[in-house]
Amino acid sequence: MKSMKVKHIDHIGINVNDLPAAKAFFMELGFALVGEAQTKGEFLDSVIGLKGAETDFVMLEAPGGQLRLEVIKYLKPDDPERDRVPDANNLGLGHIAFEVDNLEEIVARIKEKGYKLIGEIRTYQDSWKLCYVRGPGNIIVELAERH
């Protein structure tokens, strides 16, 4: 009998209100655009369990190809809680973390684009420099630079 186990992460899906801003944000972090599409119809509805769904999305790939992000804007139906601002302790997927080089330079660049640190840049046990950034659509992204 064939073993049933997860092989690897194929991609992580992130829902956003502003797809162009989210695309630009992740590309600023070094992700490359793999593709863009619009989806709707019975197949989409049956997979995600919503009726009349319509989406625009982009697929972005991290440097080295080790991770893909599917960044999705739902055109229909609308999320009734779309304006909530999540905190790091909310249940569910709380944040996504990326190991980076030159953390402070990256933070300076994304601050120029209007994004803000949630807390501050701190060093953990002389091994990691860390911070949380609130990206487009209130996505929480952790940036980590190894010392």
User: Does 4 reside within a domain?
Assistant: no
**Same domain assignment for residues 122 and 70:** no
98 - beta bridge partners? Answer: 143
**Same domain assignment for residues 71 and 119:** no
User: Does 103 reside within a domain?
Assistant: yes
CA distance 9 to 93: 15
CA distance 68 to 31: 9
Residue type present at position 57 = F
Domain boundary among 80, 109, 134: 80
Distances (CA, A) of 2 to 5, 7, 8, 9: 9, 13, 17, 19
Residues, the chain? 147
**Same domain assignment for residues 36 and 73:** yes
Q: What angle do CA 36, 38, 39 make, to 5 degrees?
A: 130
Is the whole-model pTM more than 0.95?
no
What CATH number does residue 40 fall under? 3.10.180.10
Distances (CA, A) of 108 to 34, 104, 116, 117: 26, 6, 10, 10
**Collapsed DSSP state (helix, strand, coil) of residue 100:** coil
Domain boundary among 56, 80, 104: 80
CA distance 126 to 111: 25
Q: Look up the domain containing 25 and give its range.
A: 10-80
**Same domain assignment for residues 37 and 68:** yes
pLDDT digits (tens), the chain, 147 positions: 666 777 777 889 898 889 999 999 999 999 999 999 999 999 888 888 889 999 999 999 999 998 999 999 999 987 777 677 777 677 667 788 999 999 999 999 999 999 989 999 999 898 999 999 998 888 889 999 998
Structural domain count, the chain: 2
Tell which residue, 12, 18, 13, has the closest CA to residue 83.
18
As given in the structure block, the two tokens for residue 70 are: 């599917």
